[in-house]
Amino acid sequence: MATAETRKPDIAGMVIAGLLLLIALVMFWDASAMQGATTYGMGPKAMPFVIGTGMAVLAIGNFVLAWRGDYPERESFDPKAIALILGGLAALIAIIGLGGGFIPATAVLFAATATAFGRRAIHIDLAIGAVLGFAVFLLFDKLLTLSLPAGPIERLF
């Protein structure tokens, strides 16, 4: 908790409060666009309005916290590590989406994550990831009949 002297408005906290308010507004907008008629009891719109109102109130609460500087202090973070992991996930989605198959997707994600955690041996990690992916594929797809996305490599087996 920050001491009295260092308390000043927390910009990031206000952005969060703004996002929460935005979510509330989207919910109101979505609910008011509904045209379903409910004859009895409570309709589908009621709950979005209740939750949206709660969200708006919480947005104000968070704004007050941020304004008073009551948001927790944050330590510096390593953007490269974040970028690597998210990049790995994006690559995985792209490879699977484009039909590249499970094994290469897994290998890329594995290597990217290991690098984010400080390993500096991308070739070895790619190989380990591929072997892991292959083993998983054999075990789950072939033996336990779970169907994993197949690309050119998987079709060989």
Instruction: Determine how many CB atoms are found less than 10 A away from the CB of residue 131.
Output: 14
Of the pair 8, 46, the CB lying nearest other proteins is at: 46
Q: Is 95 in the site for other proteins (CB under 8 A)?
A: no
Is the CB of residue 84 less than 8 Å from the CB of residue 109?
A: no
Give the count of residues interacting with other proteins (CB under 8 A): 80
Tell me which residues in 18-77 interact with other proteins (CB under 8 A). 20, 23, 26-27, 30-31, 34-44, 46-48, 51, 54-55, 58, 61-62, 65, 71-72, 74-77
Tell me which residues in 118-157 interact with other proteins (CB under 8 A). 118-119, 125, 128-129, 132-133, 136, 139-140, 142-149, 155, 157
Of the pair 8, 119, the CB lying nearest other proteins is at: 119
Residue for token pair 């050119």: 152
CB of 5 to other proteins, least distance (A): 21
Q: Is 4 in the site for other proteins (CB under 8 A)?
A: no
| Six token digits for residue 105 | 């997707």
Question: Measured between alpha carbons, how far is 52 from 54 in angstroms, rounded to an integer?
Answer: 5
Query: 156: Cβ–Cβ under 8 A, 6 or more apart, which residues?
Result: none
* φ, ψ (nearest 5 deg) of residue 36: -70, 140
